[in-house]
Amino acid sequence: MAATDFSRLITAAADTIAAHADELTALDQAIGDGDHGLNMKRGFEAVRAEADIFSAKPLPEALKAVGTKLVMTVGGASGPLFGTLFMALGKDLPAAPDRDGLTAAFGKAIEAVAARGKSQPGQKTMLDVLQPVYEALAQGKTAGEIADAADKAAEATVPMKALRGRASFLGERSIGHMDAGARSTALLVRAVAEAIEGN
Amino acid sequence: MSNVGIVIVSHSPLVAEGTADMVRQMVGDEVPLAWCGGNGHGGLGTSVEAIMGAIDKAWSEAGVAILVDLGGAETNSEMAVEMIGEPRSHKIVVCNAPIVEGAVMAATESSGGASLKEVVATAHELSPS
């Protein structure tokens, strides 16, 4: 991937998080501690600020560096979880990945996130978006279809009962609200998918 | 210092500092000790960067035991250990124990020159299995 392309992905990701920060915070206020939008915005703005440095690196190194930056700047429980996603992707992705290489690395990255959060799909978390995205990748779906699958998966967290994270303290009361981490994951998937498709 | 270091990680800086105070008063100065709490922006939470700093401060060649409060503190502590990387990461354990009792008991064990394994086991005894 050319440096300009990676830089565009960073811009797309940071733009969507900034545009939806208030919405993410509102979702998190309903069943979490209400800092998700602000935390994610701080993290992705920090990544945006160093986009040129990241983009100059080979793709795997760039992803690892983005992950590390997110760990250090997002804070909360989301920092390590989103950071791990990018760091693990960078660890397993070839420098010039095809769809199979991307799918395999994405699968490994999901496993890393699940291990970090001691969670699995079905517990009203970002994994509930990542897993369907992985399946759509594996099935050879288009970027647009993958983004739609991510949105649908985030919506599908609404009726779920939270079993991990602060929302799990609410038990049944977590039902009826979309998980903020699932929503931000879907936003990132759409932003990246659309940026890639726009090539 | 060759005793196992103790790191206290709470969402609240007040809880972390208070726990460290208890350890110092009840166990003494024979144990390397550090604490961190808060999200680094004035709110409740934990910060990987701050945890890494606390581990450095309490570092001992005998190892470091970390005591945490709620879930995010554990996740962030595990991330910090991973980012510190090998070989030091092998000598750092995030304990499954209540933060205050765990810190005091682990520090007590450490002050007697116990190994990291013994210190961690003492903290873990406090958790219902």
- pLDDT tens string for chain A (199 positions)? 666 789 999 999 999 999 999 999 999 988 887 889 999 999 999 999 999 999 999 999 999 999 999 998 987 788 999 999 999 999 999 988 999 999 999 999 999 999 999 999 999 999 999 999 999 999 999 999 999 999 999 999 999 999 887 778 888 888 999 999 999 999 999 999 999 887 5
- Put simply, whether A119 touches B (Cβ < 8 Å) is no
Which residues 60-79 in chain B show a CB within 8 A of chain A?
70-72, 75-76, 78-79
Which residues 3-42 in chain B show a CB within 8 A of chain A?
39-41
CA distance B63 to A146: 46
**pLDDT given for residue A8 in this prediction:** 95
Once rounded to an integer, what is the mean pLDDT over residues B108-117? 95
B66 forms bridges with which residues in the sheet?
A: B7, B94
Tell me the fold of B5-124.
Answer: Rossmann fold (3.40.50)
Q: Are B71 and A68 inside 8 Å of each other by CB?
A: no
**pLDDT given for residue A1 in this prediction:** 61
Residues of chain B with C-beta less than 8 angstroms from the C-beta of A71:
48, 79, 83
**pLDDT given for residue A167 in this prediction:** 78
CA distance A36 to A26: 9
**Is the model's pLDDT at B10 over the cut of 80?**
yes
**pLDDT given for residue A121 in this prediction:** 95
**Is the model's pLDDT at B4 over the cut of 80?**
yes
Homologous superfamily of A3-197: DhaL domain (1.25.40.340)
CA A76, chain centre distance (Å):
15
CB B86 within 8 Å of CB B77: no
The two structure tokens encoding residue B23: 């350890």
Residues whose CB is less than 8 angstroms from the CB of residue A2 and which lie 6 or more positions away in sequence, other chains included: none
CA within 13 Å, CB half, A73: 19
**pLDDT given for residue A3 in this prediction:** 66
B36 forms bridges with which residues in the sheet?
A: B9
Helix (H, G, I), strand (E, B) or coil at B25: helix
Local structure of residue A165 (DSSP, 8 states):
S
**pLDDT given for residue B1 in this prediction:** 60
- Put simply, whether A125 touches B (Cβ < 8 Å) is no
Per-residue pLDDT of B49-107, as tens digits, reads 999 999 999 999 999 999 999 878 999 999 999 999 999 999 999 999 999 999 999 99
The two structure tokens encoding residue B22: 């208890």
CA A118, chain centre distance (Å):
17
- Put simply, whether A116 touches B (Cβ < 8 Å) is yes
Q: Are B83 and A81 inside 8 Å of each other by CB?
A: no
Question: Where do the DSSP E strands lie in B1-129?
Answer: 5-10, 33-37, 64-68, 92-94
Least CB-CB distance to B71: which of A35, A77, A79?
A77
Give me the residue spans of the domains in chain B.
Answer: 5-124
pTM (two decimals): 0.86
**pLDDT given for residue A75 in this prediction:** 77
**Is the model's pLDDT at B5 over the cut of 90?**
yes
User: Which of A25, A28, A35 to mutate: most B Cβ within 10 Å?
Assistant: A35
Least CB-CB distance to A75: which of B39, B70, B71?
B39
